[in-house]
Structure 1
Amino acid sequence: MQHTAGSVPLDNDSMYAHIFSFLGLPLSRDLQDPSVGAVVMGVPYDLGTSGRPGARSGPAAMRQASANLRWEEMRWPWGFALRERLKAIDFGDVVYANGDSDSMLQEVEQHAAMVAAAGKTLISLGGDHFATLPLLRGVAQHHGQLALIHFDAHTDTYDEGEKYNHGCMFYRAPQEGIVDPSRSIQLGIRTEYERSDHQYAVIDAHQANEQSVADSVAAIRQRVGDGPAYLTFDIDCLDPAYAPGTGTPVVGGLSSSRALQILQGIADLNIVAFDVMEVSPAYDHAQITSLAGATLALQFLYMRASRL
């Protein structure tokens, strides 16, 4: 593309210049544009964190790391260029009153509902995992009860009686009727939970690592079916070797390669919204975790584009 002197290219593929937005996508809040199919939104929140803090900086870190992904026009191993099928925008971050979790809940739910009602697919960048609860609430306003596809080291089904906690979301969501656990599945689990009355199907980390990718994909597809699904990916599903920068790292997790392969295998499911959570760059090294999170978000965009 030709540019006049002093102009700034809007299709910038530089890995170091103008890295303000995710993948260099246009910064926009225009949800009325019919050509836009996906919206990337940051949720810089970590007041529900129980361990190491810092996930509020996750959205900015993933945006910065995504500059490393700009140069590849056609992401391997997908057989098409993303920009040829799907137009996406970076919506920026949800802003809430400082230190006010109720404000966060209200603002995130409202924004998620607005994006879903506009017919766009929402990809959210976190932020601690508690932010997924208002995201689910907002998306369910438009799509109804959701199946949950949940990648994590923890089930997050704990009832500790705390109002704000990043381990309670998937205990509360079925109680609110926004998630159907009978159609939901959790992958990579490797911490304790009450197995006797656990409502979700579980592929624990040992099983996910030992069985074939095809077996994991088949189990997800069988459980979730054709209804609307929400995919949430806590970065600590990955082994700390692949994602050290997170609040509650647990060894023995999935490799980034295995996770990406599983995601590609379920691309044609009716996944209406995605998120990647718990990137805490203060504990990261050389952007390893931020790059993993950004790559997962890019994978989500390709998954959505593959259905067009």
Structure 2
Amino acid sequence: MALEDAKSQVDTAITRKGRRGMAYENAFGGVTSFMRRSLSKDLLGVDLAVTGIPFDQAVTNRPGARLGPRAIREASSLQAFDAPYGWDYNPFEVFDIVDYGDLAFDYAAVADFPATLQAHIAGILSTGAGCIALGGDHSISLPILRAHAARHGPLALVQFDAHTDTWADDDPARIDHGTMFGKAVREGLIDPARSVQVGIRTDNPDPMGIAILDAPFVHENGPAACAARIKTIIGDAPVYLSFDIDALDPAFAPGTGTPVWGGLASWQVAAILRALAGLDIVGGDIVEVSPPYDTSAITAIAGAHVAVELICLWGWTRRPVNGEKQ
């Protein structure tokens, strides 16, 4: 890229005139936004909004996921140069995608947080835009699911995780990153018969009817068989995809609060996600990236890649075919 061209592409998150196309500026400089998308609170005409949820006050072990959205955005800067690998279309060329910034909330008023987050997501969805959330600890999924279920009805859940997160908890006031999917089942937000958990490698006495493809299943049968099983279970239901970064083995994602050995490899995750193309993904999140425990930012890099794959999945059933959106 010529020097003059480079000078004209500084801080594209602020200066770019359109929402589509890749961003050609130095990866090591400029204002950080997810994939160098425009930073915007104006969702008129926007197809998809990426928003950060810097909350980690529901963790049971190591904190730091509140810093995850910032780290994922920074890690995505290098990816912003190129079309996503492994896909025959580029969602950043065909959809209006923006970085909506982070949720603002009172960190001292924890009891108010779920309602604040639900309203934040509901506001985005009310414009007709889709939403991908960058966490944050995994408890953020429950208010987000409430907002999506209010719009779409009961959802199928595809959850990548080391833990099932369905532990019993009947106290509606408690916020815990290990109980939210149990609450989601009891609230009727997700349909357990059409939901799948992938990469599980810890015990839970009650999976609440959700199918489990544990880490040994993936290792023994491979990504293609795993994706085929997921598609069979899900069918044509609207899907919320939640990706806890600890689904990955600690070798690939050390920067997380509750790491568990024996997890998925990054290549397995990439292959499974790409093979899920065709599912009706209506929303999703990437959670539990904890930069203080990261090494060389490899966990944040993994989180950024997963976020891009999730956007590709979301757009697959909406992409233009023969010049028209589906």
TM class by smaller structure: over 0.9
Partners of 2:148 and 2:26 lie apart in 1 by 34
Local SS of the residue matching 1:259: helix
How far apart are the structure 2 equivalents of 1:277 and 1:105?
16
Instruction: Tell me: CA distance 1:104–1:266, structure 2 relative to 1, closer, same or farther (3 Å).
Output: same
User: Superposed, which structure 2 residues align to 1:66-81 within 5 Å?
Assistant: 66-72=76-82, 74-81=83-90
Give the alignment of 1:12-91 within 5 angstroms. Answer: 12-31=24-43, 33-34=44-45, 36-72=46-82, 74-91=83-100
2:20 counterpart residue number: none
How far off is 1:198 after superposition?
A: 3.4
Please state how far the C-alpha of 1:199 moved relative to its aligned partner. 1.1
Work out the CA distance in 2 between the residues paired with 1:173 and 1:4: 48
What pairs with 1:267-286 in structure 2 (closer than 5 Å)?
A: 267-286=277-296
- Find the partner of 1:190 among 191, 201, 225: 201
Aligned sequence identity (%): 40
Q: Work out which of the residue numbers 297, 301, 306 in structure 1 matches 2:311.
A: 301
1:81 deviates by 2.9
Q: 2:133 aligns with which of 107, 117, 124?
A: 124
Give structure 1 regions of 4+ aligned residues with deviation exceeding 4 angstroms.
Answer: 1-9
Distance in 2 separating the partners of 1:51 and 1:7: 42
Which blocks of at least 5 consecutive residues in structure 1 are unaligned? none
What is the one-letter code of the residue matched to 2:41?
R
The number of equivalent residue pairs is 304
Partners of 1:220 and 1:236 in 2: CA distance: 19
Residue segments in structure 2 that go unaligned for 5+ positions in a row: 17-22, 320-326
Report the equivalent of 1:240: 250
Does structure 2 retain, via aligned residues, the 8 Å contact 1:157–1:171? yes
TM-score normalised over the length of structure 1: 0.94
Matched, 1:177 2:188: yes
Deviation at residue 101 of structure 1 after TM alignment: 2.2
Q: Distance in 1 between matches of 2:269 and 2:9?
A: 40
| 2:152 counterpart letter in structure 1 | H
AA in 1 matched with 2:181: F
Within 2, Cα distance between the matches of 1:49 and 1:76?
33
Distance in 1 (alpha carbons) for counterparts of 2:7 and 2:209: 61
What is the distance in 2 between the residues matched to 1:7 and 1:79? 26
The answer to whether the Cα contact below 8 Å between 1:25 and 1:89 also exists between their aligned partners in 2 is yes
Contact (CA 8 Å) 2:157, 2:240: kept in 1 or not?
yes
TM-score (structure 2 length as normaliser): 0.89
RMSD (Å) for aligned C-alpha atoms: 1.9
